[in-house]
Each structure stands twice: as C-alpha cells, then as structure tokens.
Amino acid sequence: MLKSFLEGLDGLTLECEARRGQACSLKDLESLRVEFLGRKGKLAGAMGALAQMGPEDKPAAGKKANEVKNALVALLESRQAELEALAAKDALSGFDPSLPGRRPACGSLHPVTLAMQEICEVLTGLGFEVVSGPEVENDWHNFEALNMPPDHPARDMQDTLYVSERMLLRTHTSPLQVRTMLSRKPPVAVIAPGKVYRRDSDLTHTPMFHQIEGLLVDKNVSMADLRGTLTAFVRQLFGAHTNVRFRPSFFPFTEPSAEVDISCMLCGGEGHVKGEPCRVCKKTGWVEILGCGMVDPNVFASVGYDPEAVSGFAFGLGVERVAMLKYGIGDLRMFFENDVRFLEQFS
C-alpha cells in the first residue's frame, strides 16, 4: 500500500511537470493549480489513502506528501514567473499573442471540374470507359467522317475556329467517336470529356466550353437501349424523380436523332415558382440537356465498321450547362471570371 501511494504521488509531480508548459495564461495556470492543489484536487484525492494506513507507514507517507506538495507549488510558481516575464516582454514590443492567426488560403475544384467528375463517375459506373483526343483536329475527324462533307450546310451550325486550311479547333467531342472506332473493334462503350471551341461569344455562349461525348456500338443496339441508358444516367445525376423526354432533332452523324429534356429542377416541372414564371425553364417545365441519336451508317462506313453487322448510339452533353442546372448558377460568365468569392463556394 505504501509503495503504490508513493508511486502515485511521484506520478502527480511528473504530470504537473508535463502540463505546466501548456498553461499559456495566468487563468490557465490557476485552473491547473485548482486541479492539482485545490480542496478536491488530485493531491487531496491521493491523501485520502493516508487515513487507512498503519502507524508504521504513516510517517514516511506524510513526509512524501509534504515534499510533493512543495514540489507542485514550486512548479506552478515558476511557470507563473515565466508567464509574467513573457507578458512584460509582449507589452513592451506591442505583440499580442491572443490575436487569432491568419488562415492559409485553400484551393478548391472548379465547378466545371466537379460536374465533369460527377458525370464521368455515373457513366463509368454504367460501364463506359474514358478516352481522350486532340483539341486541334483536322477537318476529316471533326466533319467529314461524321457525315459532313465540305459545303454541307450543317457545318454552319457550328462556327469553326480554323488554325489552317485543314486544321481547326474541334467544335465538338464527336471526333472522338471517329478516333475510337478507327482504333478499336466493336463492341465499344466510351465517353470522351474535353474542351471544345466555337466562334461564339455572348451572354449564353463562350468561345471555349466543355462537352462529354458518349458512344456505344455492338450487335443489336437499339433506340430503346439509348433511351434506357440516358434515362438511368440523368436520374443518377439529377435525382430519381427526374422526368425525361426525347424530342426528335437533327444531327448529320446520327439517324434518327433526338434532344433530351429533363423536368426543370428549379420549379419541379411546374413552370412557375411561388406564382412567378420559372427563370430556368422559361415557364416550359423542361430544360434541354443533351443531343443524341443512333450512329448514322455513313459514319460506320467512314471508319470501316459494317453497318449491317453493328449498330450503336452516341450522345453529347454540355458540361457548363449541367453545372449551371445542378448548382443553380444563373450566369455562364461566372465560370470564366475566376472570382474567388464564387469559386470558394464549391470547396
């Protein structure tokens, strides 16, 4: 009993020695004093055992308790002296150690990057593999192989930025359909995220923006597969309650073609919010989110696939558009101004 009593007291001294340095103000130090030397403090607690000790042990125990008490007092007093000296020095230099520190600036991912990652995550989850290709393309991959011969009127749909006679900045990610099929045999299921460029600049268009292309080719792929895949994709991205509609449309490289609308996430497809016309869907209840269709046989022919043996679907969507809808961003220009007050909301 005596032995463990003495060891307990030594432990108190060691603990106090270790913790006194953490007291950074006289107030901290006072709490430490109460904790060790107060009426209900640690030393008083240890002394409780003294009452049950036999007369032969008491003198040694009492002596030790006194020594420890003196040691504790000395430790705390010396810390007090240190703190007072520091305070005097700070007062002289005007340094205030109690001021909060500066937070280091911390970066975050751009909302376009976030949307891109989210879209790719859903599509790779559905089994698509990510591929990439050059932003400076030739006319053949960007247009001709996609069923747009020179002078085809559909080339006017996309105002092209030319680098030279035959080279251009890709106007869409669809050349990746061509590059993929040229380098692989069917079946293929790929997505191609990346930057695209058009000679266009106003409130709702920027000369550079991001698209994600999708292509699936196999035996017996039908429009129903396209519809099922895109519906599953859109519901994973925007929520299970999202309604989807396919509207007939035209693209030279798909036949038939469609544009996909989803029910407006701001008004829930109602067309109005609290009696006000919805500004996101302009009262229609629907917002367009991607273009798609069944790969045109002429495209298969340009890459050497047999249109009799395989079929497939392709789709392309604008990433900025998805980000605006998902994160409720009203103005496209926000993405390119790099205002940190905007960007830091996505950290």
Site of interaction with ligand PHE (CB under 6 A): 172, 174, 213, 251, 254, 291-293, 314-316
Within 10 angstroms of residue 206's Cβ, the number of other Cβ atoms is 16
Q: Which helix (H) or strand (E) holds 75?
A: helix 58-93
C-alpha 198, offset from chain centre:
28
Q: Closest CB to ligand PHE belongs to which residue?
A: 316
Q: Specify the residue, 6 or 161, whose C-beta has the smaller distance to ligand PHE.
A: 161
Q: Specify the residue, 20 or 198, whose C-beta has the smaller distance to ligand PHE.
A: 198
147: three-class secondary structure by DSSP:
coil
Shortest gap between Cβ of 98 and ligand PHE (angstroms)?
59
Shortest gap between Cβ of 157 and ligand PHE (angstroms)?
7
Shortest gap between Cβ of 111 and ligand PHE (angstroms)?
21
Q: What letter represents residue 274's amino acid?
A: K
Judge contact between 110 and 334, C-beta under 8 A: no
Q: Specify the residue, 269 or 293, whose C-beta has the smaller distance to ligand PHE.
A: 293
- In this structure, the strands spanning 167-169 and 136-138 are antiparallel
Distance in angstroms (rounded) separating the CA atoms of residues 251 and 242: 25
Shortest gap between Cβ of 146 and ligand PHE (angstroms)?
8
Shortest gap between Cβ of 204 and ligand PHE (angstroms)?
15
Name the phi and psi angles at 285, rounded to 5: 85, -5
Q: Specify the residue, 9 or 292, whose C-beta has the smaller distance to ligand PHE.
A: 292
Q: What letter represents residue 74's amino acid?
A: A
Distance in angstroms (rounded) separating the CA atoms of residues 150 and 177: 19
Q: Specify the residue, 72 or 314, whose C-beta has the smaller distance to ligand PHE.
A: 314
